[in-house]
Amino acid sequence: MKRHDEVTGQASNHATDPRAHFDDRSGRLAKESKAAADRPDPEVHGAAVTLDDVSITFGDHVAVRNVTLQMPARQVTALVGPSGCGKTSVLRAINRLHDHTGGAVRGSVRLGNLDVYGPDVQPEVLRSRIGMVFQRPNPFPTMSIFDNVISGLRFNGVRNKRLLREMGIAALHNAALWDIVKDRLNQPALRLSGGQQQRLCIARALAIEPEVLLMDEPCSALDPVATAKIEDLIRHLSGEVTIALVTHNMFQAARVSDNVAVFLLGDDRVGELVEVGPTDRVFDTPDDARTKAYVTGHVG
Amino acid sequence: MRTLPTVQVALDGAMPDMGLAEVARRRLVVRDSARRSIRRRRMAGRAMQVICLIAVPIGVAPLVALVLATVSKGAGAVNIGFLLHAPTPSGVPGGGISTAIAGSGEIVAYAIALAVPMGLFIALFLFERPGGIASTIRFSADVMSGVPSIIIGIFAYAVYVERFHHFSNVAAGFALGVLMLPIMVRANEEAMRTVSVDLWEAGVSLGARRSRVARSVVLRGALPGVVTGNLLAVARGVGETAPLLFTVASPTFAMTLLIFNDATQPFSDAQQTAWGTALVLLALVLILSVTARMVAWTLNRKTR
């Protein structure tokens, strides 16, 4: 219940001052890191994602192999690399989306201390802790703007109307969309522009208060202005949720990420992780020659 | 017309090395060909337009003729009394077709009650569980929709009328339901396939159970197509005669049977009744079809 109160408080703050949330956020963050020390509960404070020797295969085809990677809690980790090197496959392994597409995941994926592929894990419950944003904006066309935002809450059985309303409004604020849509919450979602639709999808993912946000090239279908807005958003959200961002764009990775993981195609055309580390370090002084060639634009 | 000279494409399919002069020469060949053939292409285009213009009236003529004939022969018979009164024996004036309308309505209601939910669940199964069983069901549905309706009538007779020793509208509804089911299954599945995988994944990634995604995303997104497909299947079923021949107790209990029965009698008032019933039936089917389109249109418009 305490968590609900927090959200309620947050929502009412937003209602009075739409601009307050970023300042408010940093205030909360300070408080939270102190609280996190007393009571390190990843369910509330965002969890790290750990991949240990993960390989993903589709039938006979190995998409990516032997990935060992730590995504620190409440930081942005960018997954970069050329097409077909398994970045998206890795991302989809985190919320077990491969369960439905015939991909086999070997190795260990952990969310905080939880073994994502453990025998007692219910995929639906796991996914309610992990938000996902896809390449192309995919709001539900049959739902209104607001129903889209709260759809995840409804899917997870939240029925309380007041709570739905408050969490929906909070999510729209967090996605910096409230001012644009506040007067047309009941309009069909497809009336929004592409960039707004993508932010609506981010709001939808944030409404379930995820600990981790997976973003699969969220700007690839957007123009530069919309892209800049999404990047702003990623930076603002990073103190609150753990973000895994797949991108083709080196500059985007440099702009928004704290850590970067570079994937490349091996000699046998299987994707592999060649380097991972703090973004500044990887871009300035890469350890691996292949990384250097890639990030400086000589390959891929 | 000059033809493009063959280029020495290496057998391994490698791109031949072309100099700038060769590129320029090829450009000329293409432009030249475009200019020379423009008259011929324009004429061919016109000829096709003319053929299309002729084809349209030929295609529409039977429909117009059919509607006109039914209206002109049936309009005289149709009035309020015709719709509200029970049939009378030939020679007795003042008869109507109320029992046939009510009977047809009842039969179609049974058919809908059977086929619509079954059609939805089977289509959901095909969508959610692709594989050998689904392929078999899909194939069966395709075969089923090609089975002559008279055979479905005999089938309903064998499994219902013979077993329970009486004709009934339930048996007729069963026969019509069996007839409509495969059409509905395929229409529903087709409609569900138009819902993009992106939306399905969005639902799943939010923590929804598969059944919830099927209901709130897939089925909801497919609704316009589902409603249209089902209404069109119903419109098709309303007009069926053969399945009812073996199952309905009296020709006065269904419109199509009444038409068949009265039209084959030598009495002019009976034949008049048959035309009138035909007109009512035609109007009903037309209303169903138009409703189907309108529902689909309205549902689609709401999303934009």
Residues A98-152 have pLDDT tens digits of 998 888 999 999 998 899 999 999 999 999 999 999 999 999 999 999 999 999 9
Q: Is the ipTM of this complex over 0.90?
A: no
* CA atoms of B134 and B193, how far apart (whole Å): 14
Q: Which of A95, A132, A155 to probe by mutation at the B interface, max B CB count within 10 Å?
A: A155
A220: its two tokens: 């690839």
Q: Are B162 and B172 in contact (CB under 8 A)?
A: no
Angstrom distance (rounded) from CA B139 to CA B144: 8
CA atoms within 13 A on the CB side of B86: 5
Q: Of B94, B70, B67, which is closest to residue B80 (Cα–Cα)?
A: B94
CATH architecture designation of domain B80-301: Orthogonal Bundle (1.10)
Interface of A with B in 77-96 (CB under 8 A): 95
Chain A contact present for B302, CB below 8 A: yes
CA distance B304 to chain A (A): 6
pTM: 0.77
CB spacing of A140 vs B202 below 8 angstroms: yes
Residue A96, Ramachandran bin (φ over 0: left; ψ between -120 and 50: alpha; else beta): left
Q: What is the DSSP string of A26-80?
A: HHHHHHHHHHHHHS--HHHH---EEEEEEEEEETTEEEEEEEEEEE-TTSEEEEE
Q: What is the 3-state secondary structure (H, E, C) of B137-203?
A: HHHHHHHHHHCCHHHHHHHHHHHHHHHHCCCCHHHHHHHHHHHHHHHHHHHHHHHHHCCCHHHHHHH
Question: Is residue A17 predicted with pLDDT exceeding 50?
Answer: no
- CA distance readout (Å), A111 to A57, A71, A175: 21, 10, 24
**Residue B221 and residue A141: Cβ atoms within 8 Å?**
yes
> If pLDDT is split at 50, 70 and 90, which confidence band does A192 have?
very high
* pLDDT of residue A227 exceeding 50: yes
Position B117 scores a pLDDT of 96
Three-state secondary structure call for residue A104: strand
Cβ of residue A152 closer than 8 Å to a chain B Cβ: yes
**Which has the closest alpha carbon to B156: B236, B73, B240?**
B240
| The residue type at A281 | R
Dump pLDDT digits (tens) for B7-56.
Answer: 555 556 666 666 788 888 888 888 988 899 999 999 999 999 999 999 99
Which among B204, B217, B223 has the least Cβ separation from residue A97? B204
With an 8 Å Cβ cutoff, are A142 and B220 in contact? yes
Give dist(CA B151, CA A188) in Å, integer: 47
The 8-class DSSP code of residue B95 comes to -
What is the chain B residue with the closest CA to A154? Answer: B208
CB pairs A-B closer than 8 Å: 81
Instruction: Give the closest residue to A253 by CA, choosing from A48, A80, A75, A67.
Output: A80
CB B87 within 8 A of CB B95: yes
- Number of alpha carbons in the 13 Å side-chain half-sphere of residue B223: 17
| d(C-alpha B285, C-alpha A90), whole Å | 54
Chain B residues with beta carbon closer than 8 angstroms to that of A136: 198
The CA radius of gyration of chain B, in Å to the nearest whole number, is 28
Contact A141 B207 (CB under 8 A): no
Does A132 contact chain B (CB < 8 Å)?
A: yes
Sheet holding A49-58, edge to edge: A114-115, A103-111, A49-58, A61-71, A271-278, A259-265, A76-80, A242-247, A212-216, A130-133
pLDDT at A76 over 80: yes
The pLDDT of A151-157, averaged and rounded, is 92
Find the closest chain A residue to B221 by CA distance: A142
pLDDT-derived band of residue A21, with 50, 70 and 90 as boundaries?
very low
Q: According to the model, what pLDDT value does residue B182 have?
A: 95
Whether residue A100 lies within 8 A of chain B, CB to CB, comes out as: yes
Please report residues of B whose CB lies closer than 8 A to that of A128: 206-207
Which of A95, A125, A141 lies nearest to residue B205, judging by beta carbons? Answer: A95
The pLDDT assigned to B54 comes to: 96
pLDDT of A160 over the 50 cut? yes
- What is residue A220's three-state secondary structure? coil
Facing B198 at nearest CB: one of A128, A138, A205: A138
CB A173 within 8 A of CB A21: yes
**pLDDT tens per residue across span A23-69:** 333 334 334 444 444 444 555 566 789 999 999 999 999 999 999 99
d(CA B212, CA B202): 12
Q: What is the pLDDT of residue A10?
A: 42
Give just the sign of the alpha carbon dihedral A30, A32, A38, A42: negative
Q: Which two tokens stand for residue B17?
A: 């090395």
Residue ranges of chain B with pLDDT lower than 50?
Answer: 1
Q: Which residues of B199-229 are buried (b: 16+ CB within 10 A; e: fewer)?
A: bbbbbbbbbbbeebbbebbbbbbbbbbbbbb
CA max distance for chain B: 95
Chain A residues within an 8 Å CB radius of B209 = 124, 155
Asked if B215 reaches chain A (Cβ–Cβ under 8 Å), the answer is no
Distance from CA of B166 to the nearest CA of A (A): 47
Residue B4 has what pLDDT?
A: 53
CA distance B75 to B95: 15
Q: Mark which residues 223-262 of B lie under 8 Å from A by CB.
A: 223
Looking at the complex, does the CB of residue A155 fall below 8 Å from at least one CB of chain B?
A: yes
In degrees, to the nearest 5, what angle opens at C-alpha A28 toward C-alphas A225 and A76?
A: 45
% of chain A with per-residue pLDDT over 70: 83
